[in-house]
């Protein structure tokens, strides 16, 4: 649903033109449009709305002004209007900037635009005031038990309240528009008799209810002006019911004491109506002939004079009062007379005619009231303070001079009738009050609030003349306020003096170096100076009212206040302290104790001087003067301590010295021990240890070093005089050796396979490590530790031999297979041949028998036949064609087998090359062939061998057996590489021989997966293997390199494309290089 809003989406240009006009309009002009999409817009709204709601209704401001409760109604009105194109009457509330609601009522005329939109133009007016008044009136008028009617000028009923409706039994609709008089039987007198606004008239009439029941309606009428129109309000109630309130004034109709009277020209009564008898207790006739003076008017001289004057002047008189009867007697009556002179038509005076009323009761009531008032006045007058009474309307009723003078010495404005607020204003105007910093409006509001509250609470008002007033206001029964003021200036003054004095003392006490507290009889602090606060770690104000003992010892159980009397109730405090006892004492005492400081919880020593405050022979409290005893104690202590400290320092120093001596002894001992231990350690080391300084001078050598280097005491000698390091480049002196680098760079150098030479010419196989000792370059020294690895080397060589043997052993199984296979078929073939030969020999024998039989031809035909038969059967039985074909093949294959065995055996001899410890000129091609033969069983299922041998390869001087071992290793490795590669079998192993200058190269290439770059060098590490357990020791390549490099001065290198296979290349010098190991 689209909620009406007031956006000024596109203010019409006319708005600008008319702006000046609109601005001052009391109503809001607007244009509203309803689009085809059901959207409501307000293209124009005059600025009055902004003013009305207290904020600018902006163009884009779609602030939702309409009160949510009124939106549906407004929407419906607009929709209805749009549907029927009828005038749209609208009434709704808007909410203003300050939260008020305002009623707008308006009307707008719809108009269908050519484009289908509907536009309204209209105006809203603010009816808030009217609505409010209407509301208030209705609210007020719903006073219980009082029927109210509002009548128009023609006395027709406009409205009647609930009670009126109830009383007459008509609904509001039934009453509305009906002449008021029609409610009554026989009508009513004209109500317009009293026509002055504000005046009131009463009456009573017999009305008839809706249900025809009679109703005696007593009413009063008041005319009120509403705008330009007069309106009449009738209030009333059922007269037969008890009066709604006791306070209601007795109705004038109820009076029955009025009487008429007439006098004659001599001013004597000629007539008095009957009622007078009841008043005066005499028959009216008894009065005839007497003048009013005689009856008692003379007793009231001022009235008698008036009457006499009036009578003489023959003018009308009114309300003359006089009394009859003995003064103070019960029969005394007070009468009130009014009279009119009567003249004959010709102007002849013939007496007065008038009425009289017995106003005894009224007079007496008035008299009593006057007396009461007088008593009040007297009371008030006699009140020493200022007193004033304000009536319920807040007007000053009475006050005594003290009251008026307190504000208004001149008696200008404090007068009965003046309102309280007026008085205050006047006072302020004359600067009576000292408002201090408070502005008058606030002060006034507060003052009025107090006044209306009137709860008797005392408050103090300061006047500009320096006086102080204590004011107390009390509500009176039945409304009104009694205001009592007492001038407390002196009191205030004294208080201030006292305050000044106290402050002066405070300043004095605060400046005191001691803490001073005053305690009351219960031990509560009623005063504490600043120092007390400082010492106790509290603010003095916070201490006031606290039990002092609790303050100084907050950890103690909450103590009850001290007994008020020193002689006590027998109720002992929970614990007793010297301070507490001193407080109970009636003599001054000094106590030193520790208290707990509140601020940091520290216990501090305090000296207390406790003095009792005596009062009426008793103890009214104590004054405690105390000071922080820390300083005193410290001072006292410091003197003792200085002495003690001196003694202590001396003893400590002595002890320290003793300790130092002991420590030094111990350190020296430890040093000695450590040195001895070190010496023992180095002495017992198998390794040689040398320490040298930066210049290469030996500063220490252990026995092992001396023994290994075969030298004596070398300390102080240069290193070169003891050892040199042999490398391929020759023997290096210290200056060129890696040891010097250690001294220069501080980096440890180690070599697990080095050679030391001694000046005596000895050669040592060593592993050494050289580490820097000491920190900075110039003074750095180095430790060289080395061990003889000759035996290790020997073991390595033995290992090589062992591995050679083991590989031969491993080969043996393969070789056995290689030999077993030919043996198998040779045996098979030989047995076959054997059998075949047997058959052949049988056949030959039979043939010979046949031949012999033929030779003896004719002799024995049967024998011949038998021989022929035998041969024929042998030939039939024996598949000679098969034998003829198979036997030669069997023989040939057997011979092949024998050859193969012979070759294998020869290769074995070649391979192991037994019996040579020196290098021999070796045909490497043949060596390789032998190796391939003996290892055939290793490779035959894994690889095809391609031999690329250089035919004219020169013989090489080498250890043939060891080189064969190297080749075998390379071939076995190649086989393993191919088997492990996962490539289809068989792979290819290419063995190449070639010459390269003075070198012969043997290359073994496989088709495995090659060697990753990163492990290429580690391959030759003695303890590196890529082989799984059971595939050899993995020592192979290390040994091979040792053989090739060390024994033959050649090289063994690994290469090849990773993934494509490995290439191992052996380079040997053709002429063989003699090495140092030749002899070993």
Which spans of this chain sit near other proteins (rule: CB under 8 A)?
Answer: 813, 816-817, 820-829, 831-832, 835, 882, 886, 889-890, 893, 896-897, 937, 941, 985-986
Q: Which residue number, 896 or 923, has a Cβ lying nearer to other proteins?
A: 896
Q: Which residue number, 690 or 972, has a Cβ lying nearer to other proteins?
A: 972
Closest CA to 487 of 402, 429, 611, 584: 402
Q: Which residue number, 552 or 975, has a Cβ lying nearer to other proteins?
A: 975
Token output for 921:
């000129």
Kindly report whether the peptide bond that precedes residue 986 is cis, defined as omega within 30 degrees of 0: yes
Check: CB of residue 1037 under 8 Å from CB of residue 1020: yes
Token output for 481:
């306020």
User: Cα 706 vs. chain centroid, distance in angstroms?
Assistant: 78
> What does each C-alpha distance from 46 to 2, 21, 66, 122, 927 come to in angstroms?
22, 10, 16, 11, 124
The rounded distance, in Å, linking the Cα atoms of 910 and 933 is: 10
Q: Which residue number, 678 or 889, has a Cβ lying nearer to other proteins?
A: 889
What lies within 8 Å, CB to CB, of 1041 at 6+ separation is: 1020, 1052
Token output for 791:
């035996």
Closest CA to 451 of 395, 381, 382: 395
Residue with tokens 């820097």: 772
Q: Which residue number, 743 or 836, has a Cβ lying nearer to other proteins?
A: 836
* Shortest spacing between CB 990 and other proteins, in angstroms: 20
The rounded distance, in Å, linking the Cα atoms of 280 and 801 is: 176
The rounded distance, in Å, linking the Cα atoms of 924 and 926 is: 5
* Shortest spacing between CB 932 and other proteins, in angstroms: 18
What lies within 8 Å, CB to CB, of 783 at 6+ separation is: 689, 690, 691, 770, 771, 772, 773
Q: Which residue number, 822 or 1050, has a Cβ lying nearer to other proteins?
A: 822
Give me the residues paired with residue 91 across strands: 105
Q: Which residue number, 866 or 875, has a Cβ lying nearer to other proteins?
A: 875
* Shortest spacing between CB 928 and other proteins, in angstroms: 23
Alpha helices for 856-879 (secondary structure H): 861-877
> What does each C-alpha distance from 996 to 660, 926, 928, 950, 954 come to in angstroms?
78, 19, 18, 11, 11
* Shortest spacing between CB 1033 and other proteins, in angstroms: 17
* Shortest spacing between CB 947 and other proteins, in angstroms: 20
Check: CB of residue 297 under 8 Å from CB of residue 307: yes
Token output for 829:
């073939």
Q: Please provide the distance, in angstroms rounded to a whole number, between the alpha carbons at the two ends of the chain.
A: 117
What lies within 8 Å, CB to CB, of 64 at 6+ separation is: 3, 5
Give me the residues paired with residue 122 across strands: 30, 108
The rounded distance, in Å, linking the Cα atoms of 261 and 263 is: 7
* Shortest spacing between CB 818 and other proteins, in angstroms: 8
Q: Which residue number, 379 or 889, has a Cβ lying nearer to other proteins?
A: 889
The rounded distance, in Å, linking the Cα atoms of 263 and 1066 is: 181
> What does each C-alpha distance from 990 to 948, 956, 964, 1055, 1061 come to in angstroms?
7, 21, 16, 14, 11
Neighbours of 589 (CB within 10 A): 18
* Shortest spacing between CB 1028 and other proteins, in angstroms: 12
Q: Which residue number, 381 or 893, has a Cβ lying nearer to other proteins?
A: 893
* Shortest spacing between CB 841 and other proteins, in angstroms: 16
Closest CA to 890 of 826, 846, 835: 826
* Shortest spacing between CB 825 and other proteins, in angstroms: 3
Per-residue 3-state assignment (H helix, E strand, C coil) for 967-1030? HHHHHHHHHHHHHHHCCCCCEEEEEEEEEECCEEEEEEECCCCCCCHHHCCHHHCCCCCCCCCC
Q: Which residue number, 134 or 835, has a Cβ lying nearer to other proteins?
A: 835
Check: CB of residue 88 under 8 Å from CB of residue 78: yes
* Shortest spacing between CB 982 and other proteins, in angstroms: 15
What lies within 8 Å, CB to CB, of 359 at 6+ separation is: 321, 334, 335, 336
Check: CB of residue 481 under 8 Å from CB of residue 474: yes
* Shortest spacing between CB 1036 and other proteins, in angstroms: 19
Helix (H) or strand (E) holding 165: helix 162-168
* Shortest spacing between CB 828 and other proteins, in angstroms: 3
* Shortest spacing between CB 922 and other proteins, in angstroms: 31
Closest CA to 106 of 64, 159, 63, 45: 45
Closest CA to 234 of 180, 196, 171, 168: 180
The rounded distance, in Å, linking the Cα atoms of 884 and 129 is: 152
């Amino acid at each position: 649903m689209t909620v009406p809003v007031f956006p000024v989406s596109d203010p019409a240009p006319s708005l600008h033109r008319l702006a000046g006009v609109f601005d001052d309009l009391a109503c809001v002009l607007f244009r509203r449009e309803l689009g085809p999409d059901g959207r409501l817009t307000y293209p124009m709204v005059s600025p009055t709305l902004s003013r009305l709601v207290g904020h600018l209704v902006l163009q884009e401001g779609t602030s939702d002004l309409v009160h949510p409760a009124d939106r549906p109604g407004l929407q419906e009105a607009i929709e209805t209007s749009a549907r029927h194109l009828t005038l749209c009457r609208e009434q709704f509330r808007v909410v203003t900037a300050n939260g008020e609601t305002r009623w707008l009522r308006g009307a707008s005329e719809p108009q269908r635009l050519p484009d289908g939109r509907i536009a309204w133009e209209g105006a809203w007016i603010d009816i808030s005031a009217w609505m409010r008044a209407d509301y208030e009136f209705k609210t007020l008028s719903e006073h219980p038990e009082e029927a109210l009617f509002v009548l128009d000028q023609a006395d027709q009923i406009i409205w009647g309240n609930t009670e009126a409706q109830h009383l007459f039994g008509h609904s509001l609709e039934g009453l509305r528009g009906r002449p008021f008089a029609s409610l009554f039987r026989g009508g009513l007198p004209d109500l317009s008799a009293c026509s002055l606004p504000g005046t009131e008239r009463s009456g009573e009439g017999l009305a008839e209810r809706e249900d025809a029941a009679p109703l005696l309606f007593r009413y009063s009428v008041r005319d009120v002006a509403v705008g330009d129109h007069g309106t009449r309000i009738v209030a009333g109630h059922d007269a037969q019911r008890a009066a709604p309130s006791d306070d209601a004034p007795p109705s004038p109709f109820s009076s029955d004491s009025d009487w008429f009277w007439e006098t004659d020209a001599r001013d004597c009564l000629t007539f008095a109506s009957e009622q007078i008898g009841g008043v005066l207790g005499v028959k009216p006739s008894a009065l005839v002939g007497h003048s009013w003076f005689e009856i008692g008017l003379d007793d009231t001289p001022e009235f008698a004079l008036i009457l006499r004057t009036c009578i003489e002047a023959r003018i009308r008189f009114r309300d003359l009062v006089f009394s009859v009867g003995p003064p103070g007697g019960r029969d005394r009556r007070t009468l009130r007379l009014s009279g009119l002179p009567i003249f004959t038509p010709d102007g002849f005076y013939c007496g007065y005619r008038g009425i009289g009323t017995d106003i005894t009761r009224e007079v007496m009531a008035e008299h009593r009231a006057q007396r009461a008032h007088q008593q009040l006045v007297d009371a008030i007058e006699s009140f020493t303070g200022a007193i004033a009474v304000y009536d319920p309307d807040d007007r000053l009723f009475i006050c005594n001079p003290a009251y008026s003078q307190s504000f208004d010495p001149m008696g200008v404005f404090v007068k009965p009738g003046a309102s309280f607020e007026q008085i205050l204003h006047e006072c302020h105007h004359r600067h009576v009050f000292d408002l201090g910093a408070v502005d008058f409006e606030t002060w006034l509001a507060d003052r009025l609030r107090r006044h209306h509250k009137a709860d008797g609470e005392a408050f103090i008002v300061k006047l500009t003349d320096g006086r102080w007033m204590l004011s107390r206001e009390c509500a009176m029964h039945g409304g009104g306020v009694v205001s009592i003021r007492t001038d407390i200036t002196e009191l205030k003054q004294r208080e201030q003096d006292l305050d000044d004095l106290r402050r002066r003392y405070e300043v004095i006490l605060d400046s005191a170096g001691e803490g001073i507290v005053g305690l009351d009889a219960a031990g509560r602090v009623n005063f504490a100076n600043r120092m007390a606060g400082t010492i106790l770690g509290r603010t003095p104000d916070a201490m006031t009212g606290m039990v002092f003992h609790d303050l100084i010892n907050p950890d103690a159980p909450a103590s009850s206040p001290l007994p008020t009397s020193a002689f006590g109730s027998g109720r002992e405090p929970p614990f007793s302290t010297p301070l507490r006892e001193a407080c109970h004492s009636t003599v001054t005492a000094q106590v030193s104790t520790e208290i707990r400081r509140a601020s940091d919880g520290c216990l501090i020593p305090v000296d207390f001087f406790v003095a009792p405050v005596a009062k009426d022979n008793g103890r009214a409290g104590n004054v405690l003067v105390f000071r922080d005893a820390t300083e005193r104690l410290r001072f006292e202590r410091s003197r003792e301590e200085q002495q003690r400290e001196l003694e202590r320092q001396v003893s400590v120093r002595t002890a320290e010295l003793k300790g130092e001596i002991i420590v030094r002894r111990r350190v020296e001992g430890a040093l000695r021990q450590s040195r001895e231990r070190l010496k023992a350690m180095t002495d017992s080391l198998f390794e040689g240890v040398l320490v040298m300084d930066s210049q290469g001078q030996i500063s220490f050598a252990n026995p092992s070093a001396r023994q290994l280097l075969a030298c004596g005491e070398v300390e102080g000698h240069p290193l070169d005089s003891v050892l040199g390091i042999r490398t391929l480049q020759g023997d290096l002196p210290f200056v060129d050796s890696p040891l010097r680098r250690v001294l220069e760079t501080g980096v440890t150098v180690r070599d697990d396979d080095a050679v030391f030479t001694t000046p005596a010419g000895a050669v040592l196989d060593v592993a050494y490590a050289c580490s820097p000792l000491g920190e900075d370059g110039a003074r750095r020294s180095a430790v060289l530790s080395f061990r003889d690895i000759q035996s290790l080397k020997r073991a390595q060589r033995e290992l090589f031999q062992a591995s050679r043997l083991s590989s031969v052993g491993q080969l043996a199984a393969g070789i056995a297979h290689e030999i077993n296979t030919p043996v198998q078929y040779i045996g098979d073939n030989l047995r076959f041949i054997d059998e075949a030969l047997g058959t052949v020999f049988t056949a030959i024998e039979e043939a010979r028998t046949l031949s012999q039989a033929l030779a003896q031809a004719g002799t024995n035909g049967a024998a011949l036949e038998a021989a022929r038969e035998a041969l024929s059967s042998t030939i039939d039985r024996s598949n000679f064609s098969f034998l003829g074909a198979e036997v030669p093949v069997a023989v040939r294959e057997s011979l092949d087998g024998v050859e193969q065995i012979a070759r294998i055996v020869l290769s074995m001899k070649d391979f192991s090359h037994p019996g040579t410890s020196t290098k021999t000129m070796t045909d490497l091609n043949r060596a390789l062939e032998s190796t391939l033969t003996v290892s055939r069983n290793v490779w035959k299922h894994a690889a095809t061998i391609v031999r690329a041998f250089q035919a004219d390869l020169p013989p090489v001087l080498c250890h043939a057996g060891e080189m064969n071992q190297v080749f075998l290793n390379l071939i076995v490795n190649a086989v393993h590489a191919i088997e492990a590669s996962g490539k289809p079998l068989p792979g290819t192993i290419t063995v190449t021989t070639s010459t390269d200058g003075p070198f012969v190269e043997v290359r073994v290439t496989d088709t495995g997966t090659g060697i990753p770059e990163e492990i290429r060098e580690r391959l030759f590490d003695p303890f590196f293997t890529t082989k799984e357990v059971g595939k050899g020791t993995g020592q192979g390549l290390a040994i091979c390199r040792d053989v090739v490099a060390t024994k033959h001065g050649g090289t063994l290198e690994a290469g090849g494309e990773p993934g494509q296979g490995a290439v191992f290349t052996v380079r040997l010098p053709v002429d063989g290089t003699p090495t140092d190991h030749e002899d070993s």
